[in-house]
A = this chain, B = another copy of it.
Amino acid sequence: MIKPQTLKGFRDFLPEEARKRSYVIKILSRTFESFGFEPLETPALEYAEVLLGKYGTEGDKLLYRFKDRGDRDIALRYDQTVPLARVVAQYSNHLPTPFKRYQIQPVWRAENTQKGRYREFLQCDADIVGSAHPIADSETIAVAAYALKSLGFSTFQILINNRQHFSYEYIKTDFDIPSDKLPFIIRAVDKLAKVGPEEVKKEITTLEFSLEEAGAILEGIQGIKPCPDLQAVLDLLPKWNLPQEWYRFDPTLARGLDYYTGMIFEAVIPDYTAGSVCGGGRYDNLIGMFTEKSIPAVGFAFGFDRLIDALETLGLFPDYIHSSPSQVLVTVFSEPVLLHSLSLFQKLREHEIVSELYELPSYSLDKQLKYANRKGIPYVAIIGPDEAKNGTVTLKHLPTRTQKTLSIEKIIEELKKQKT
A43 lies within 8 A of chain B by Cβ: yes
Asked whether any CB of chain B lies closer than 8 Å to the CB of A315, the reply is: no
> Do B39 and A371 touch across chains, with their CB atoms under 8 A apart?
no
Note all chain B residues with C-beta closer than 8 A to A41: 12-13, 17-18, 21
Q: Which of A266-274, A352-360, A406-414 contacts B (4 or more CB under 8 A)?
A: A352-360
Residues on the B chain within 8 Å of A12, using CB = 40-43, 87, 90-91
Contact B39 A22 (CB under 8 A): yes
B-side contacts of A128, CB under 8 Å: 359
CB contacts (< 8 Å) of A47 on chain B: these are 5, 7
Residue from B2, B5, B292, B346 within 8 A of A241 (CB atoms) = B346
Answer yes or no: A15 CB below 8 A from chain B CBs: yes
Please give the distance in Å from A140's CB to the nearest CB on chain B.
10
A339-B239, A346-B240 known; A131+B359 contact, CB < 8 A: yes
Query: A residues touching B (Cβ–Cβ < 8 Å)?
Result: 1-8, 10-15, 17-19, 21-22, 29, 33-36, 38-47, 49-50, 64, 66-70, 72, 74, 76, 86-87, 89-91, 94-98, 100-101, 106, 108, 110, 120, 128, 130-133, 135-136, 139, 236, 239-241, 289-292, 324-326, 329, 332, 338-339, 342-343, 346, 349, 354-357, 359-361, 367, 371, 374-375
When the two chains form the complex, which single residue of B35, B324, B338, B359 contacts A38, counting CB atoms closer than 8 Å? B324
Q: CA separation between A231 and B28, bound complex, in Å?
A: 48
Are B34 and A290 neighbours in the complex by a CB distance under 8 Å?
no
Taking a contact as CB atoms under 8 Å apart, the answer to whether A7 and B43 are in contact is: yes
Q: Shortest Cβ distance from A317 into chain B, in angstroms?
A: 15
Contact assessment for A343 and B239 in the assembled complex, using a CB-CB cutoff below 8 Å: yes
- Of all chain B residues, the one with the shortest Cβ separation from A373 is B96
Task: Determine whether the beta carbon of A354 is less than 8 Å from that of B33.
Answer: yes
Residues of B within 8 A of A43 (CB): 6-7, 10-12, 120
Option from B1, B36, B110 in Cβ contact (under 8 Å) with A292:
B1
Query: B40 near A15 (CB under 8 angstroms)?
Result: yes
Q: CA of A41 to CA of B97 in the docked complex: distance in angstroms? A: 35
Please give the distance in Å from A405's CB to the nearest CB on chain B.
23
In contact, B360 and A133 (Cβ under 8 angstroms):
yes
Residues of B close to A1: CB separation below 8 A: 289-292
A90 to B13 Cα, complex, angstroms: 12
The distance in angstroms between the C-alpha atoms of A9 and B355, with both chains bound, is 40
Residues A40 and B13 in contact, CB atoms below 8 Å apart: yes
B120 in contact with A349 (CB, 8 Å): no
Chain B residues lying within 8 Å of A239, measured Cβ to Cβ, are 339, 342-343, 346
Contacts of A329 in B (CB 8 A): 36
Report A298 CB to chain B, min CB distance, Å: 9
- CA A357 to CA B70, docked complex, whole Å: 46
Closest to A51 in B: B2
Q: Are B6 and A94 in contact (CB under 8 A)?
A: no
A18 touching B4 by the CB < 8 A rule? no
Given contacts A40-B15, A68-B64, contact A2 B131 (CB under 8 A): no
Q: A12-B41, A139-B357 are in contact. Are A342 and B87 (CB under 8 A)?
A: no
Residues of B within 8 A of A139 (CB): 357, 359
Identity of the chain B residue whose Cβ is nearest the Cβ of A352 in the assembled complex? B34
| Interface pair B74/A33, CB less than 8 Å apart | no
With a cutoff of 8 Å between Cβ atoms, the chain B residues found around residue A136 in the complex are 359-360
Name the one of B292, B354, B361 contacting A97, with C-beta atoms under 8 angstroms.
Answer: B361
CB-CB under 8 A from A50, the residues of chain B are: 2, 4-5
Which residues on B sit within 8 Å (CB–CB) of A371?
A: 96-98
Nearest residue (CB) in B for A239 is: B342
